[in-house]
Amino acid sequence: MTPTPMNTVQIPSANRTASSWSVNVLTTNAAQGQKQENSLEGDADHVEGAAHPLHVLMFGWEYPPRGEGGLGVACAGLVKGLRSHGVNVTLVLPGERNDEGDDTLRVKSTLHPYDDVMHGMRRNHAMDLHNLYGGDLGKAVSVFTDTAVRRTRHLKPDIIHSHDWMTFGAGVMASRTIGRPFIAHVHSTEMDRTNGKPHEWIFGHEQWGMNHANHIIAVSRYTKNVLISSYGIPPEKITVIHNGAPIPPAKHLPKKDAKLRHPLVLFLGRLTVQKGPHEFLSAAKRVLEQRSDVLFIVAGDGYMLRELIERSCALGMQDSMLFTGKVGSEEARALYAEADCFVMSSTSEPFGLVALEAIAHGTPVIVSKQSGVSEVVAHAMAVDYWDSDKMADYILTILREKPLSEQLSSEAQHVLHTLTWERQAQNVIALYKTVIHSFASVSTLA
């Protein structure tokens, strides 16, 4: 099959500019002797009888330790899971040429996670969405796409895999250039991030990328339904593969006796409308009407930080509400371990790794029903994000009923041992094989 020339691929973005950006090329090669053929259906490490390990060209924009959002954590977990099964992964990320310490291909870029871009714009009072989505951000996406594809066109991967909308263009163009199938991995959508009020350019770019993908991975049934209902994607084009769970700490630190301190209720995440911090504050207000000794911790940064602080003061909760700002991974782990209850009040959460992180530290969780993680965690209290009364009731119940709290945290541990990245990587490899076979069949007919 002759690859379609690059210039036939039309990416919906701002005017392109020539790029002088450079990359540092490193390929993540799986260690020898790690094949686990007996745990897969057939030989997942070889394709169509080839004598080489499966090679994946992967595009992302976030990866620990630079960027520790859910997308970066999920990308890192999947890469490690794939490598544990002998898969070779070339991971392409925006970053500086002198980045060191990770096995990635770094494309120098101005790209940042969507929420970080919005945060900076809000802080600078420069909310010109036309310029943001049709100008600077569009240009950054286009330059990343062109540079990444140009510097990887010599590769011969078996399949191409892109994480979320900023890299869909790179996935489509690489697929057309190299002549290999493309999988779009959807971790979050513009419908989720904007509470159903999407910015047209980003929504269109997401839809365009998914329409041009050979197949789509959705991180939950919840997300699959969004793709069907809001983006018009055929159900048969979408496979649900949940994220893997974090590895629990070797030993849980005992929580301090709540009788000797304030009971702690934790919210941790970016302070954006999607994460439901206002709903958390509403529930906190109702809890404090019955128990004035509870301390609520809001950990994270985002464009809503100032308005949340102002609202908590207006509600008279300033003495019971602690805003930490941005926290690192070590601080987050300490907060999870110390909290008596974790609340994920997201208005629309494709998955929700933070809930699994809390479970990994032995903390009982309350999760929004409007989330993917509610599909995999049986032993968690689930509530509609808008039902602040019930959310408050659940918080009070967990704080009051210690046996129930201990039962929830203990039984929820089961998901950590069944939903591993190694197991989820097996599902991804099986999908790779199916898509590669289908692509080869169509190419032969053509």
The Cα 243–Cα 27 span in angstroms is 23
The Cα 103–Cα 49 span in angstroms is 28
Distances (CA, A) of 210 to 70, 147, 172, 215, 308: 21, 21, 9, 8, 35
Q: Which of 208, 202, 197, 92 is nearest to 138 (CA)?
A: 202
Q: Is the pTM of this model over 0.85?
A: no
What are the residue ranges spanned by the domains of the chain? 6-244+420-445, 258-418
Beta bridge partners of 371: 349
Name the band, by pLDDT with cuts 50, 70 and 90, for residue 445.
Answer: low
Q: What is the largest CA-CA distance in the chain?
A: 73
**Contact between residue 208 and residue 12 where contact means Cβ atoms under 8 Å apart:** yes
Is the fold of 6-244+420-445 the same as that of 258-418? Answer: yes
The fold of 258-418 is Rossmann fold (3.40.50)
Rounded percentage of the chain residues whose pLDDT exceeds 70: 75
Task: Please compute, for residue 75, the number of CA atoms within 13 A of its CA located in the half-sphere on the CB side.
Answer: 32
- Per-residue pLDDT at 94: 84
Over 70: is that where the pLDDT of 282 sits? yes
Which strands make up the sheet holding 295-299, listed edge to edge?
Answer: 321-325, 295-299, 264-268, 341-344, 365-368, 381-383
pLDDT digits (tens, 9 = 90+) for 376-417: 998 899 999 999 999 999 999 999 999 999 999 999 988 999
> Helices 388-400 and 402-411: crossing angle, nearest 10°?
100
Output b/e per residue, 275-287; b: 16+ Cβ within 10 A.
Answer: bbbbbbbbbbbbb
Token pair 């945290």 is found at: 409
**Contact between residue 373 and residue 416 where contact means Cβ atoms under 8 Å apart:** no
**Contact between residue 368 and residue 349 where contact means Cβ atoms under 8 Å apart:** yes
pLDDT digits (tens, 9 = 90+) for 199-223: 999 999 999 999 999 999 999 999 9
pLDDT digits (tens, 9 = 90+) for 226-278: 999 999 999 999 999 999 998 877 566 566 555 457 999 999 999 999 999 99
Instruction: Collect all residues with Cβ–Cβ distance below 8 Å to 446 and sequence separation of at least 6.
Output: 1
**Contact between residue 126 and residue 303 where contact means Cβ atoms under 8 Å apart:** no
Q: Which CATH number fits domain 6-244+420-445: 3.40.50.720, 3.30.360.10, 3.40.50.2000, 3.40.50.300?
A: 3.40.50.2000
R_g (Cα) of the chain, nearest Å = 22
